[in-house]
Structure 1
Amino acid sequence: MSDPDESAQRPATIRETLANKEFAASFWAQAQSTLGDNVARAAIVAVVYGQTKSPLLAAAAFAVSYLPWLGFGALLAAWAERHPYRRTMIGCDLIRAGIMFLLAAYPHAPAGLLIALLFVNALLSPPFDASRSALLPQLISGEQYVTGVTLSRTTAQIALIGGYGLGALLVSIDDSAALLFNAITFVVSALLVRTMVRERPPSLKAEQRTNLVREAIDGYRVVLRSPVMRSIALIVFSGVCFGVIPEGIAATWAAHLAGHADSFAFGAIMTAAACGFVLGSALVTWLLRPQRRVALIRPVALITPLVLVPALFDPNLVVVVIMTVISGASLAITLPAGNGLFVQVLPPAYRARAFGVMQSGMHLIQGGAVMLTGWLAFMYPLPDVVGFLGIAGVAVLVLIIASWPTPATIADAIAANKVRVAADAHAAASPGQIEDFGEVTIDLGRAPLPPRRRPSPGPSARREPPMPDPAERTVDLTERTAELGGLPPAPPSQPARHS
C-alpha cells in the first residue's frame, strides 16, 4: 500500500526511485513499449491512408486504439484483478508482439484486416495498463510512488513526440520497419518484467470472485461511493476534459490563426501541450514539498479551464502557446497529487478495477470533449467556443471544490483502509485463524475499535469497570468502511459464485 510519508521534507529523486530494481524494470518496459506504440500508430495511419486515400479510414486506424477503453475497459480490468499482475503484463506483451510481427510481415493487407488486428491489439491495453497501475504501489511507496507516477507520465509525453517523429522516419524507409520495431519493444518489455519483477498473488482471491460484470460494477461502486475517491475522480475528469481542448483542436486553431492550414502553428500548439505537461511534472515532483501537493490539488485544477478564458479575445499564436503550456502544466500537477491521495484510500483488492474506471473515464471524456469542441467550432467562432467552454469549466470546478471532503473525512478514509490492509495481511499470514493482539482481536473481514487504555496500577485501577470481551468490541470492516464512503457492505451469508 502506498502511504506517502507526511513527515518527508523533500520529494524522492529519480535516482532513489530507479534504485528499486523492480520499478526500474517496469518503468523501462513501459517507456520503450510506449515509444514503440506511437511509432506503430504513426506507421499504421500512413499505411492505411496510402492504401485507401481515405481520411476517414486513416482516422479510424488512429482512433481504434482508444475504443476498448470505452466499452470493454472495465471488464478487462476486472479480469486482470483475478490474475497475478506480472503474469497478465507478460501475456499481454507477448500476444501484442505476435500481432505486430504479423502486421510487419503483411503491411499491405486490406485496410479492414489491419484495423481489425489493431483493435485486437488494443483490447490488450486495458488489462496491461490496469495491471501495471495496480502493481506500482506494491513496488514503491511514499514519495517514491509520486516520483514514479510523474516520471512515467512525463516519459509517456516524450515518447509520444519522439514516437510520431520516429514512425514517420521509419515509414519513409520501409512500412514494415516501424511495425517490427514495435514488436521488438513488446518482447523486450515482457523479458524485463519476467526477469526483474517477482510474482505476487492476485488481489482478488478465488473465494471473493462472483462474475466479471458484477466485479466490474464493483469497481465503479468503490470509486463513486467513496467521498474521497469520487472527488478525486471528478477533479481528474474535469481536468482532462478541459486540458485536452487546445491539443484536440490544434489543427483548427492553427488554421484560424493563419487563415489557412499552417503546419508550424499546428506543431507549436501540439508541442506546447506536451512541454507544459513536462514542466508541470517537474514542478510537482522536485520543487514542491510533499505536504503542499494535496493542498494544491483544488486551486491548481481550477487553472486548467481558467487559462482558456482569454481565448475570448482571439489572441495570437504566442499567447495561445503560452495558454496551452499553462494548461498542460496545471494538469500535470493535479494528476500525480490526486493519484497519490487516491491510492491511499483504495482497497488493494480493487486496484486494477479502480484504475480501469479512471482510465476508461479519462479516454471517454477526452474524446467527447474534442468532439464537442469541434462540433461547436463548426457552428460558432472558435475563440468564443474555447473561451466559453473555459468559463463553463471554471463553474464546474467551483462546484466540485465546494463539495471536497473535509480533512477529517480524508483522514478517516485513509485510516479505515489501513485497517483493511492490516487485516488482509494478517489473514494471508494465518488464514482462517483468529489471533489476540493484546486488547484487540482481528479476524477475517473484521476490524477493531480503538483499544481502551488500561489505567496505571493504584486505587483508581480497582474502581475501573472490567474490560469487555474483545469479541464484543470487534466491528465489521465493510460496515465501517461503508460509513466512510468506501466499500458497500456485502451479506456474509451469500455464497460466492465462480466463473
Structure 2
Amino acid sequence: MKTAAFRLLWTGQTVSTVGSAVAGASVPLVALLVLHASTFEVALLTAVAWLPWLVVGLPAGAWVDRWPKRRVMLVCDVIQMAAFLTVPIAWASGVLSVPVLVAAALVGGFAKVFFSLAYRAFLPSVVADGDLLGANVRLQGSESAAQVGGPGLAGLLATLFGPVSGVLVDAVSFGVSALCLRFLRADEPAPGPRTRLREEIGEGMRIAARDPYLRVMVLSGATSNLALNGYFAVQVVFLVEGLGQGPGAVGAVLALGEVGGVLGAALVSRLARRTGTAWAFLWCEALVVPALFLGPLAWPGWGRTLFVLAGAGCAGGVVASNVLGGTFRQQYCPRHLYGRITASSAVVNYGTIPLGALLGGALGEAAGVRVAMFAMAGVQAVSFAVLLAGPLRRARDFPRAALAVQSAA
C-alpha cells in the first residue's frame, strides 16, 4: 500500500463523508423547519440527488475510463462545494426556497456520479490488490464513523445556529477533500484502447448482464436501493411528525443507529474469514430485512429504542455487504473496463434510488409514513430473495479476476 497517497485519500474522503452525513440530516430539516415543505417535497430532495445516474450514468462510466481519475475527482469536489454553498448564501439573502434546495441537490448529484465512478476505479492505483479488502474496510469504517457523528452534529448545529449551518459544513468538507486530492500523487494506468462511445457503453452493459455474479448483484442491489431510499426518504418525517422529535433528538437517534455501520465495518473481515466472502455477503444482506421491519414499530418515548436498533441493524448489514461487494468488483473486473462495467451496474442500482424516494414520499402522503416504511421493508425482503436465486448461495467465496477476464473477452 502506498501509505502517503492512501492517507491523503482516506483523510479527504472521511472529512467529505462527515460533511455529507451532516447534510443528509440537515437538508430535510431545512426543508421541514425552515421552508415547511411537505412529505413529498422532502422525499423529492433525495430523488433529484440520485436522478443524474439515470441521465448520465452510462456515458459517464466510459468517459471516466478515458480520463485521469484523480483530476475527475478534484473537479467534482469543487463543483459540489460550489453547489451546496448556494444554500447558505440564498438563506442569508432571504431567497432560500425548495427549488433552490432541489437545484443544489441536482447539481451536486451530477458531480457525484463522476466522482463515485472515478473514486472506485482510482483506489487500485493507490492500494495493491492484496490490500484492497483492508483498504475498503478502513474507508468504509471511517464512513460509518462519520455517519454516526454526522447526524448528531447536524442536530447540534441546527439547535445552535439553525439547520442551514449543516449544509455550509458540507460545502466546506468538499473543499477539504479537494485539497487532499490536490496533493495526492499516484501512478494511474494508461487507459485502454479508445473506441466509439456507444461501443464502450455496450461492452460494459454486456459484461454486467452476462456475468452471473454481477447480474444477480445488480438486480438485487436495484431492488434494495428502491426499498432503502423509499424508507430513508421519510424517516426524518417519521421522527419529527410521528415521534415528535426536535432537531437535536433527530440527530441523536440517527447517529445512534449508525453505530451499527461502525461495528459492521470492524467485524466484516473476521466474518469473511470464518464463513467465506460470498456467504458473509449473504449474511449481511439478510440482516437488513428484519431491521427495516423493526423501525416503523417505534413509538414516542422509550419506543424510540426500536428505531435505533433498526438503524443499527440496517447500517451494519449494508456497510459490511458494501465492503465485500465493492472489494469483489475491484478484484474481479479488468481495470481498463472497470468504469464502464461499474457505470452499467450503477445506472440500474442507483437509478431506482430516485424512484424509491418518490415512492416512499407518495406512500407517506397517501397512507401515512409508517405504512410507507413497512412497504419498503417488504421490498427489501424481495431484494434478498433475488440474491438467493443466484450463484452466491452455492459459492463460499467470491470468484477472482480470471473469470472476469473471460467474461470480458
1:84 to 68, 89, 94: 68
Work out the CA distance in 2 between the residues paired with 1:376 and 1:117. Answer: 25
**In the alignment, what sits opposite 1:434?**
none
Work out the CA distance in 2 between the residues paired with 1:85 and 1:183. Answer: 21
Cα contact 2:47–2:353 (8 A) shared by 1: no
Q: What residue ranges of structure 1 are gaps of 5+ in the alignment?
A: 1-16, 421-480, 490-499
Work out the CA distance in 2 between the residues paired with 1:415 and 1:363. Answer: 27
Q: Report the CA distance shift for 1:218/1:105 in structure 2 as closer, same or farther (over 3 A).
A: same
Q: Report the CA distance shift for 1:348/1:250 in structure 2 as closer, same or farther (over 3 A).
A: same
- CA shift at 1:104, angstroms? 6.2
Q: Report the CA distance shift for 1:392/1:41 in structure 2 as closer, same or farther (over 3 A).
A: closer
Secondary structure of 2:188's aligned partner: coil
From the two aligned structures, give the one with the greater helix fraction.
2
List per-residue Cα deviations over 1:84-126 (Å, max 9, x = no partner): 1112122223344455667666652564566545533432111
- CA shift at 1:210, angstroms? 0.7
2:319 to 332, 354, 357: 332
1:219 lines up with 2:204 in the alignment: yes
- CA shift at 1:275, angstroms? 1.9
- CA shift at 1:284, angstroms? 0.5
Q: Which amino acid aligns with 1:318?
A: T
Cα contact 1:98–1:183 (8 A) shared by 2: yes
Work out the CA distance in 1 between the residues paired with 2:278 and 2:114. Answer: 29
Rg larger in structure? 1
List per-residue Cα deviations over 1:441-491 (Å, max 9, x = no partner): xxxxxxxxxxxxxxxxxxxxxxxxxxxxxxxxxxxxxxxx2xxxx23x6xx
**In the alignment, what sits opposite 1:271?**
255
Work out the CA distance in 2 between the residues paired with 1:307 and 1:49. Answer: 26
- CA shift at 1:343, angstroms? 2.4
Secondary structure of 1:208's aligned partner: coil
**In the alignment, what sits opposite 1:318?**
305
Work out the CA distance in 1 between the residues paired with 2:389 and 2:43. Answer: 40
- CA shift at 1:393, angstroms? 4.2
1:189 lines up with 2:177 in the alignment: yes
Work out the CA distance in 2 between the residues paired with 1:273 and 1:328. Answer: 7
**In the alignment, what sits opposite 2:19?**
36
Identity of aligned residues (%): 20
Secondary structure of 2:123's aligned partner: helix
Q: Report the CA distance shift for 1:340/1:99 in structure 2 as closer, same or farther (over 3 A).
A: closer
- CA shift at 1:134, angstroms? 0.7
**In the alignment, what sits opposite 1:68?**
52
The structure, 1 or 2, with the larger RCO (C-alpha pairs under 8 Å, 6+ apart) is: 2
2:124 to 137, 149, 155: 137
- CA shift at 1:38, angstroms? 4.7
Aligned residue pair count: 399
- CA shift at 1:392, angstroms? 5.6
Cα contact 1:244–1:370 (8 A) shared by 2: yes
**In the alignment, what sits opposite 1:468?**
none
List per-residue Cα deviations over 1:28-87 (Å, max 9, x = no partner): 111212333455666666777788555576765665433322322332233222101112
**In the alignment, what sits opposite 1:236?**
221
Residues 86-95 or 106-115, more deviating: 106-115
- CA shift at 1:233, angstroms? 2.5
- Given the two structures, how large is their TM-score scaled by the length of structure 1? 0.65
- CA shift at 1:168, angstroms? 6.1
Work out the CA distance in 2 between the residues paired with 1:336 and 1:20. Answer: 20
Q: Which amino acid aligns with 1:133?
A: R
Q: Which amino acid aligns with 2:127?
A: I
Q: Report the CA distance shift for 1:79/1:142 in structure 2 as closer, same or farther (over 3 A).
A: closer
Q: Report the CA distance shift for 1:113/1:320 in structure 2 as closer, same or farther (over 3 A).
A: closer
Q: Report the CA distance shift for 1:283/1:116 in structure 2 as closer, same or farther (over 3 A).
A: same
Q: What residue ranges of structure 2 are gaps of 5+ in the alignment?
A: none
Cα contact 1:43–1:167 (8 A) shared by 2: yes
Work out the CA distance in 1 between the residues paired with 2:54 and 2:315. Answer: 24
2:186 to 185, 198, 203: 198
Work out the CA distance in 1 between the residues paired with 2:383 and 2:164. Answer: 47
Matches of residues 406-425 of structure 1 in structure 2 within 5 Å?
407=395, 411=399, 414-417=401-404, 420=405
Q: Which amino acid aligns with 1:230?
A: R
Work out the CA distance in 2 between the residues paired with 1:170 and 1:53. Answer: 19
List per-residue Cα deviations over 1:219-245 (Å, max 9, x = no partner): 333212211211232343444444556
List per-residue Cα deviations over 1:240-263 (Å, max 9, x = no partner): 4445565444346547975xx344
Q: Which amino acid aligns with 1:340?
A: T
Secondary structure of 1:200's aligned partner: coil
Q: Report the CA distance shift for 1:44/1:240 in structure 2 as closer, same or farther (over 3 A).
A: closer
Over aligned residues, Cα RMSD in angstroms?
Answer: 4.2
**In the alignment, what sits opposite 2:332?**
345
Residues 319-328 or 20-29, more deviating: 319-328
Matches of residues 162-173 of structure 1 in structure 2 within 5 Å?
162-166=149-153, 173=161
